[in-house]
Amino acid sequence: MSVRPFLITGCARTRGSPGGGAPTSSSSGTWCARASASSSSRVGLRPPDSSRDSVLTEMPVVSESSARVAPRRWRIERSRGPTASRAGSWSIVLLLLRQKDLSNRRGRSDGQHMNENYDVVVVGGGAAGLSGAVALARSRRSVLVVDAGDSRNAPAGHVHNFLSRDGTPPSELYAAGRAEVTGYGGRVETARVAALARDGERFGVQISAQTGERTVAARRLLVATGLRDVLPDVPGLAARWGIDVLHCPYCHGWEVRGQRIGILSTGPAAVHQALLFAQLSPHVTLLQHTGPALDADQHKQLGALGVAIAEGEVERIEAGTDGLTGVVLAGRGRLALDAVVVAPRMEARAELLEPLGLKPAEVLIGEHPVGTRIEADRTGATAVPGVWVAGNLADPQAQVVGAAAAGLMAGAAINFDLILDEARSRG
């Protein structure tokens, strides 16, 4: 079996969708044009009999509650019943009642009043969420970013491969992003979104903060909650994650160049990683651990690039005050190392989306499952109208700069979707 490019160079696809899983726009032109075309065809230019329009037209014309609040003059008119001469004013009354009923419904979520209404609530304030929020705030949209503050790369000391920001600590990058959002009038809150629910034409967003719980309303959602790295269960491994237990040659490879690097094999990605790290150091060892047996081609490729192979399971990772010192191989003793590379399972942080009808799809490299993602088109629009996703939640392979780009694209698409909505409702 020959080795195909892995991770950043990317050959991942979603199970059941050979072309990459998500529908892509075939229109040409600038990215803005593509974003808007895709957006309008999905949501903005829906035919009049779409389910969303029927929410408006199928509302009870005179509901019990609206009849109770109708002014006395209207009640008198109704008791007389419409006559030919009164038909015009009668229909205006019905329209007013219907609008009142609609606005009442918009303000409620599960019996709770929602006093805060936003054009967009962004769930997750990493590179993707903050970038989307900047685009929206600069478009004069009311936007709230709710962020729990545990971004994926938080354990790492610095961000690399982000042009012009190389070496910036993640916390500094996100603090700068938050300041940009608030500088354009957006709001950023450190809190956790506990639940999302559709509420008629809007969404109810339940926020759990130190100050208590509340529910706010949003016309659109941008969900950028990232992914969870699930590490192999080896004692000592998790404690060194992001420091000298690494996963990505482009994030940290330069920092361990020339050092003794062990590749912990738990699946087919290990050979890809070994070949990539061999570009950075002549001292790379593939630790067979629980990984699949190597075929003849793989042996040849690894041998050609000088990668050693160590048989046996890794019992534990050892570290001292200066960092990782090596691994203990079952029955074979200790191997001195400066860094260990793993391939965690990358699970979409998508629990919030399930009640809205969005379930994560499996991501495959070759035939092997490596994680999950929420499927979306290239603007981040999901199968659920009004809900966009960006960053690692939609694309586990996205780096910081890629996540930021996806957030911008989603922000632009949401803004245009809202514009179409407004043009339709005012037209």
Whichever of 302 and 408 has its CB closer to ligand FAD, that residue is 408
Tokens linked to 235? 């004692």
326 near ligand FAD, judged by CB under 6 A: no
Rama region for 110: left / alpha / beta (φ>0; ψ in -120 to 50; rest): left
Sequence-separated (6 or more) residues with CB below 8 Å from residue 341: 245, 246, 247, 261, 262, 263, 264, 273, 277
21 near ligand FAD, judged by CB under 6 A: no
Question: How far apart are alpha carbons 15 and 37 in whole angstroms?
Answer: 27
Question: How far apart are alpha carbons 371 and 360 in whole angstroms?
Answer: 9
Length of the chain: 427
Q: Among 322, 342, 337, which Cα is nearest to 242's?
A: 342
280 near ligand FAD, judged by CB under 6 A: no
Size of the site for ligand FAD (CB under 6 A): 38
Does residue 194 contact residue 351 with C-beta atoms inside 8 Å?
Answer: no
E strands, 142-186, are 143-147
Does residue 326 contact residue 334 with C-beta atoms inside 8 Å?
Answer: yes
Question: Which residues from 240-269 bind ligand FAD, rule CB under 6 A?
Answer: 242, 251
Whichever of 37 and 251 has its CB closer to ligand FAD, that residue is 251
Exactly one of 127, 205, 261, 271 binds ligand FAD (CB under 6 A); that residue is 127
Q: Amino acid identity, residue 184?
A: Y
Whichever of 159 and 218 has its CB closer to ligand FAD, that residue is 159
Exactly one of 400, 412, 414, 418 binds ligand FAD (CB under 6 A); that residue is 400
Question: How far apart are alpha carbons 156 and 158 in whole angstroms?
Answer: 6
46 near ligand FAD, judged by CB under 6 A: no
Sequence-separated (6 or more) residues with CB below 8 Å from residue 377: 22, 23, 24, 25, 38, 42
204 near ligand FAD, judged by CB under 6 A: no
Whichever of 119 and 147 has its CB closer to ligand FAD, that residue is 147
374 near ligand FAD, judged by CB under 6 A: no
Exactly one of 38, 225, 273, 372 binds ligand FAD (CB under 6 A); that residue is 225
Of the candidate spans 3-11, 50-58, 144-152, 370-378, the one that interacts with ligand FAD by CB under 6 A turns out to be: 144-152
278 near ligand FAD, judged by CB under 6 A: no
Exactly one of 22, 35, 43, 193 binds ligand FAD (CB under 6 A); that residue is 193
- Report helix angle 72-80 to 87-106, nearest 10: 130
User: 108 forms bridges with which residues in the sheet?
Assistant: 113
Question: How far apart are alpha carbons 29 and 35 in whole angstroms?
Answer: 10
309 near ligand FAD, judged by CB under 6 A: no
361 near ligand FAD, judged by CB under 6 A: no
For residue 103, the tally of other CB atoms under 10 A from its CB is: 9
Question: Which residues from 330-359 bind ligand FAD, rule CB under 6 A?
Answer: 349, 352
Of the candidate spans 124-132, 135-143, 231-239, 259-267, the one that interacts with ligand FAD by CB under 6 A turns out to be: 124-132
Exactly one of 97, 120, 122, 128 binds ligand FAD (CB under 6 A); that residue is 128
222 near ligand FAD, judged by CB under 6 A: no
Of the candidate spans 69-77, 125-133, 195-203, 358-366, the one that interacts with ligand FAD by CB under 6 A turns out to be: 125-133
Tokens linked to 307? 């990668």
153 near ligand FAD, judged by CB under 6 A: yes
Whichever of 294 and 381 has its CB closer to ligand FAD, that residue is 381
Exactly one of 101, 119, 199, 229 binds ligand FAD (CB under 6 A); that residue is 229
For residue 344, the tally of other CB atoms under 10 A from its CB is: 20
The binding track of 375-394 with respect to ligand FAD, each residue x by CB under 6 A or -, is ----------------xx--
399 near ligand FAD, judged by CB under 6 A: yes
Own/partner pairs, 65-69, CB within 8 angstroms, 24+ separation: 65/101, 65/104, 66/97, 66/98, 66/100, 66/101, 66/104, 67/97, 69/100
272 near ligand FAD, judged by CB under 6 A: no
149 near ligand FAD, judged by CB under 6 A: yes
Q: Amino acid identity, residue 54?
A: S
How far out from the chain centre does Cα 364 lie? 18
123 near ligand FAD, judged by CB under 6 A: yes
Residues that bind ligand FAD (CB under 6 A): 123-129, 146-153, 155-156, 159-162, 192-193, 224-226, 229, 242, 251, 349, 352, 391-392, 398-401, 403
